[in-house]
């Protein structure tokens, strides 16, 4: 299908197997070049939400009753199509979200891998047969689909996050309604267009729009479960809505991820991972290394090398293969990040590099990679998620202070340590409070076959991906049989 034909069709919502238009539209623009319009997308109405829920309820039982082989084959076909269109999808992802092409290409591949992994999991779902504590009774614990699931997703991984919720939900027999971020409707639409050709009508539906559409979905009593990824503040509103009606809920939220650099760290690797973790994807990653906690003995050398490497970073259009750091996703996100630069300055942090809008490239939302030095843990720039290309340096005396500082936020998503000392590693493994811990690795970059998610304020409910996904997307039934 050509882009021109898609455009003529007007990028509508997918409801009950039909493309449904709307008077209200969201116009998505390319953050690397605001003169480029990505597309105009239909905003779902309250009645669209109601129709989508009805269609999902009508389709779900037959989908759950389809053989695991059929569900597996369909997911495999989706994986194959996504992988075969890798370059084209990566271009669209960079164009709409603003991450550079190499990162988009990796995201598209991961999306294909996730569908392929859950294609396998669809035929692997098993229950448990146990002896009863009583005579002449057998017990089986079987797993079944939860029903209709609503997915509310952010813009920063506009293909892979919807995929890593959709693929397990479908594998286990649920019907899915996706509400992608209003900033990346285009990628949500592309995913829906692919799935619409591989699935029966109503099994996967797309509702585009801003928070109101997400809220209507979360409030609907016909939605059995909601899986959300996004900010803590949206998460608390969603939790209130879903809990009020007794729905099932899973949430992955923000991070303020520390990378500890100890005195004996491999300096070259520590700098490389700090650069990748803090500035790639323009710092717009939930697992970004936004706090660099550095032992006093290596502090000055680390900061000097880091600043040297930061000066080499090429900020530019996301679709230019020579760019290393793309723009921020939107004017709002850029302003918010610049506000934090002011907050940091007022708090007395030292601005060692960056902190400015870059307007010499194309009309877009570019910002220079930024480093604050001489910061302290209590400052807002070390407590609040900035979600931009901004890192802070916190100097510490040793491993105990490093871990205590790393744990000193409301978040607990990912944490890393760079060291070659076994006792440091053992202490870090034991004491760090985060859902994911990285030893001599960046805080970013995770696998799809193991649990993903945060603790403390970063996550709520069962983890995502791997076998953990079945905890959320299936429900158990315990069956007693007289023998
Ligand atoms: P956001 O919370 O603003 O929006 C996320 C989604 O929620 C969007 O689709 C939005 O339209 C929707 N929404 C907004 N208000 C709503 C409401 N009242 N009811 C229902 N839905 C509503 O987040 P964002 O700016 O899109 O994404 C950035 C945030 O996501 C950051 O905090 C980042 O750390 C987090 N994130 C977390 C992970 C993770 O796995 N932990 C991964 C990626 C991003």
> Nearest 5°: phi and psi at 349?
-75, 150
On whether the CB atoms of residues 250 and 164 are closer than 8 A, the answer is no
**pLDDT tens digit string along 107-151?**
999 999 999 999 999 999 999 999 999 999 999 999 999 999 999
Q: Average of pLDDT values for 142-163?
A: 98
C-alpha span between 397 and 261 (Å, rounded): 11
**pLDDT tens digit string along 322-377?**
999 999 999 999 999 999 999 999 999 999 999 999 998 899 999 999 999 999 99
What atom in ligand 1 is closest to the CA of residue 459? 41
Cα–Cα separations (whole angstroms), residue 41 to 89, 209, 340: 18, 8, 32
Helix (H, G, I), strand (E, B) or coil at 148: strand
pLDDT at 10: 72
The yes-or-no verdict on residue 8 having pLDDT over 60 is no
Q: Which of 478, 67, 456 is nearest to 75 (CA)?
A: 67
pLDDT at 2: 40
Q: Average of pLDDT values for 47-61?
A: 98
The mean-pLDDT minimum among 1-10, 82-91, 126-135, 379-388 falls in: 1-10
> Nearest 5°: phi and psi at 41?
-120, 140
Question: What one-character DSSP code corresponds to residue 176?
Answer: E
What atom in ligand 1 is closest to the CA of residue 233? 2
Instruction: Give the pLDDT band (50/70/90) at residue 447.
Output: very high
Indicate if ligand 1 lies below 6 Å from the C-beta of 417: no
Instruction: Give the pLDDT band (50/70/90) at residue 456.
Output: confident
Indicate if ligand 1 lies below 6 Å from the C-beta of 230: yes
Ligand 1 centroid–CA 336 distance in Å is 15
Helix (H, G, I), strand (E, B) or coil at 479: strand
What atom in ligand 1 is closest to the CA of residue 385? 32
Cα–Cα separations (whole angstroms), residue 454 to 320, 403, 433: 34, 17, 9
Ligand 1 centroid–CA 254 distance in Å is 9
pLDDT at 227: 98
Residues with Cβ within 8 Å of 246's Cβ and at least 6 positions away in sequence, in order, are none
What atom in ligand 1 is closest to the CA of residue 454? 41
Nearest CA to ligand 1 atom 19: 215
Ligand 1 centroid–CA 438 distance in Å is 24
Indicate if ligand 1 lies below 6 Å from the C-beta of 214: yes
Strands in 13-15's sheet, in edge-to-edge order, are 18-20, 13-15, 204-206, 175-179, 148-152, 225-229, 248-252, 459-460
CA angle 269, 274, 278 (to 5 degrees): 155
Strands in 257-261's sheet, in edge-to-edge order, are 350-353, 370-373, 390-396, 289-295, 257-261, 414-418, 436-439
Indicate if ligand 1 lies below 6 Å from the C-beta of 55: no
Indicate if ligand 1 lies below 6 Å from the C-beta of 369: no
Q: Average of pLDDT values for 171-182?
A: 98
Indicate if ligand 1 lies below 6 Å from the C-beta of 413: yes
As a whole-number percent, the residues of the chain with pLDDT over 90 amount to 97
Nearest CA to ligand 1 atom 12: 211
Indicate if ligand 1 lies below 6 Å from the C-beta of 456: no
Nearest CA to ligand 1 atom 32: 231
pLDDT at 5: 45
On whether the CB atoms of residues 178 and 166 are closer than 8 A, the answer is yes
pLDDT at 25: 96
Q: Average of pLDDT values for 85-94?
A: 98
Q: Of the listed 96, 107, 182, 252, which one is catalytic?
A: 252
Indicate if ligand 1 lies below 6 Å from the C-beta of 218: yes
pLDDT at 360: 87
Instruction: Give the pLDDT band (50/70/90) at residue 7.
Output: very low
Task: Provide the phi-psi class of 209: left if phi over 0, else alpha when psi is between -120 and 50, else beta.
Answer: left
On whether the CB atoms of residues 250 and 462 are closer than 8 A, the answer is yes
pTM for the model: 0.96
pLDDT at 4: 42
**pLDDT tens digit string along 264-322?**
999 999 999 999 999 999 999 999 999 999 999 999 999 999 999 999 999 999 999 99
Ligand 1 centroid–CA 211 distance in Å is 9
Nearest CA to ligand 1 atom 37: 253
What atom in ligand 1 is closest to the CA of residue 218? 20
Is 18 an annotated catalytic residue?
Answer: no
C-alpha span between 273 and 463 (Å, rounded): 25
C-alpha span between 6 and 164 (Å, rounded): 25
Q: Average of pLDDT values for 426-439?
A: 98
C-alpha span between 401 and 18 (Å, rounded): 58
Cα–Cα separations (whole angstroms), residue 249 to 52, 144, 146, 235, 465: 19, 17, 11, 10, 15
The yes-or-no verdict on residue 12 having pLDDT over 90 is yes
Indicate if ligand 1 lies below 6 Å from the C-beta of 387: yes
On whether the CB atoms of residues 399 and 378 are closer than 8 A, the answer is no
pLDDT at 215: 98
C-alpha span between 92 and 38 (Å, rounded): 9
Ligand 1 centroid–CA 252 distance in Å is 9
Ligand 1 centroid–CA 294 distance in Å is 31
Ligand 1 centroid–CA 221 distance in Å is 22
Is 252 an annotated catalytic residue?
Answer: yes
Helix (H, G, I), strand (E, B) or coil at 364: coil
What atom in ligand 1 is closest to the CA of residue 237? 18
On whether the CB atoms of residues 181 and 153 are closer than 8 A, the answer is yes
Q: Which of 407, 429, 383, 403 is nearest to 290 (CA)?
A: 383
On whether the CB atoms of residues 95 and 36 are closer than 8 A, the answer is yes
Tally of helices (H runs) and strands (E runs) in the chain: 16, 22
The mean-pLDDT minimum among 1-5, 54-58, 137-141, 211-215 falls in: 1-5
Ligand 1 centroid–CA 153 distance in Å is 6
C-alpha span between 324 and 192 (Å, rounded): 29
The yes-or-no verdict on residue 42 having pLDDT over 50 is yes
pLDDT at 361: 87
Indicate if ligand 1 lies below 6 Å from the C-beta of 96: no
Q: Which of 391, 349, 348 is nearest to 369 (CA)?
A: 391
Ligand 1 centroid–CA 330 distance in Å is 14
On whether the CB atoms of residues 164 and 448 are closer than 8 A, the answer is yes
């Amino acid at each position: 299908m050509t882009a021109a034909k898609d455009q003529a069709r007007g990028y509508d919502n997918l409801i009950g197997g039909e493309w449904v238009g709307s008077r209200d539209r969201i116009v998505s623009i390319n953050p690397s070049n605001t003169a480029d319009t990505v597309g105009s997308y239909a905003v779902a109405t309250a009645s669209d939400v109601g129709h989508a829920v009805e269609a999902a309820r009508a389709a779900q039982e037959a989908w759950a009753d389809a053989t695991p082989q059929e569900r597996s084959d369909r997911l495999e076909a989706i994986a194959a199509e996504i992988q075969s269109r890798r370059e084209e999808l990566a271009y669209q992802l960079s164009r709409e979200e603003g991450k550079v092409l190499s990162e988009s290409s990796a995201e598209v591949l991961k999306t294909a891998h996730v569908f392929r992994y859950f294609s396998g999991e669809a035929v692997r779902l098993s229950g448990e047969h146990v002896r009863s504590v009583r005579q002449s009774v057998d017990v089986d614990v079987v797993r079944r689909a939860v029903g209709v699931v609503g997915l509310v997703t952010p813009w920063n991984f506009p293909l892979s996050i919807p995929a890593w919720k959709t693929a397990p939900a479908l594998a286990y027999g649920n019907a899915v309604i996706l509400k992608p971020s209003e900033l990346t409707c285009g990628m949500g639409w592309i995913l829906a267009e692919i799935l619409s050709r591989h699935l029966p009508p109503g099994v996967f539906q797309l509702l585009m729009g801003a928070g109101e559409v997400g809220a209507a979905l979360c409030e609907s009593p016909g939605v059995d479960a909601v899986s959300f990824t996004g900010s803590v503040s949206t998460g608390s509103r969603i939790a209130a809505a879903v809990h009020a009606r007794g729905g099932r809920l899973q949430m992955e939220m923000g991070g303020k991820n520390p990378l500890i650099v100890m005195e004996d760290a491999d300096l070259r690797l520590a700098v490389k991972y700090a650069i990748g973790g803090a500035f790639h994807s323009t710092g717009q990653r939930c697992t970004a290394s936004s706090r660099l906690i550095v032992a006093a003995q290596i502090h000055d050398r680390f900061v000097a090398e880091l600043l040297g490497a930061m000066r080499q970073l090429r900020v530019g259009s996301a679709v230019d293969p020579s760019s290393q750091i793309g723009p921020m996703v939107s004017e709002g996100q850029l302003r918010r990040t610049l506000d934090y630069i002011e907050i940091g300055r007022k708090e007395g942090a030292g601005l060692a590099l960056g902190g400015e809008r870059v307007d010499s490239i194309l009309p877009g939302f570019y910002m220079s990679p930024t480093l604050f030095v001489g910061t302290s843990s209590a400052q807002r720039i070390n407590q609040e998620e900035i979600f931009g290309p901004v890192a802070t340096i916190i100097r510490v005396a040793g491993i105990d202070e490093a871990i205590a500082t790393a744990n000193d936020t409301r978040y607990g998503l990912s944490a890393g340590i760079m060291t070659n000392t076994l006792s440091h590693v053992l202490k870090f493994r034991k004491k760090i409070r985060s859902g994911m811990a990285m030893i001599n690795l960046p805080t970013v970059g995770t696998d799809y076959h193991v649990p993903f998610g945060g603790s403390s304020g970063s996550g709520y409910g069962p983890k995502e991906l791997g076998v953990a996904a079945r905890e959320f997307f299936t429900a158990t039934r315990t069956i007693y049989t007289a023998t």
